[in-house]
Amino acid sequence: MPPHPKTPGSPGCLCPPKWEGGGWITVPTVGGGRWGAHPDAWVPPGPHGQQHWPEGHPACGGRAQSPIDIRTRWAQPDPSLPPICPVGQPGTPAFTLSNNGHTAVLALPPSLRLQGLPRSFAAAQLHFHWGRPGHAGGAEHLLDGHRAPAEMHVVHYDVERYTNASEAQHHAGGLAVLGVLLEVCRPQNVGADPHPTYDNILSHLGSIRYAGQTTAIPSFSVQDLLPPRLDLYYRYNGSLTTPPCFQSVLWTLFQQPVRISLAQLEQLQGTLYTTTAAEPEPQRLVDNFRVPQELNQRLVLSSFPRGESQLEAGGGGGGGEGPPPPQIAPRALAGCKAAGTGPFTDVLRGQILSAPRNQDTWVLPAKLGQGLGAEQAGGKPTFLFPPPPHPVPMTEVASVPWYSLLY
């Protein structure tokens, strides 16, 4: 039998190109509640806030907690880490989407598996973390101090050793979670069109507006929710990000974000409630992310060589021991579908992004600005993140920015 074709965008990944179909499955429970949810989760600061979780759940005060702020220059390259390969075809027509009072949860059938991990892991569910309207951040993991607008987690359990996620979460390495950072194309872009695969979920949030509600949605290719490059990721040992915070998770955070529209982000931020339909005072479900936890000498691995997808800092002083400059990718720029765009590699290579000290924008070279249709915005497209204290030569162009762009 000939080998499976390589998954597009995932070099070296010999596996079926898609997860296809869908299926019914009950979200695993823990302590009588939904998996990963707890009444104390995401409560504002106070006697029941995140800082008090260890009082009722000792593991929440452990030394291997999640999420973390990944400092990319300190990640240890490990060339032995293989691409992540989702496999499996359940062949049933629907998924179950629910509001557990803390997030939107899409139950997944265990016939969906992951290759590229130490053992075989079966899918359990996926869910989202986000902020609130008018605020930029909502993701749980940070990259060099940057918090993306939202984050998706795809939860799997070790099917070789455990019967379900509820059992697996009690054991080190029992769970494997894929983390996907969600960035936003700005509304003035043609690329503000909704991400079609994410729309398969987000367009149904109105049917699970209140806690405890569920709905059936048509199945779709779950792999299409993931970034194209499944071979570029960070890996570390951590925990559930909600009580009971068991330290049983093998984390894979993809380096490449997925871009959704601003309207889709607003659906996440403004549709759901933490309260049931019967409660007299509805409470919006917002800010359902945990703050970053201490690394505590844990090792963060990267599946790619250090500097492979990063810009080399140019002259001009500064630098120090701070985070490395952000990465800029032709693919991500093209993903925003700015008017008049063409191939970006030739435009970017060798160019300079200037960044005066104490300013919050980078000014793109004129040639690049014109290529992005920037004349419609005064010719100065900007990046929404603090600049480094020196110019950054665009000596290498790759495929990994996690920063929102505004033209």
Burial profile 111-128: b = 16 or more Cβ within 10 angstroms, e = fewer = bbbbbbbeeebbbbbbbb
Phi-psi map region of 318: left, alpha, beta (phi>0 left; psi -120 to 50 alpha): left
Asked if 129 is an active-site residue, the reply is no
Vertex 40 angle, CA 35 and 42, to 5°: 90
Contacts of 367-374 with CB under 8 Å at 24 or more apart are 368/344, 370/340, 371/340, 371/341, 371/342, 371/344, 371/347, 372/333, 372/338, 372/340, 372/341, 372/407, 373/338, 373/339, 373/340, 373/341, 373/407, 374/407
Q: Which residue has the tokens 């479900």?
A: 285
Q: Which residue has the tokens 């048509």?
A: 218
Catalytic: which of 102, 129, 141, 153? Answer: 102
Please say whether the beta carbons of 309 and 399 come within 8 A.
yes
- Residues taking part in catalysis: 102
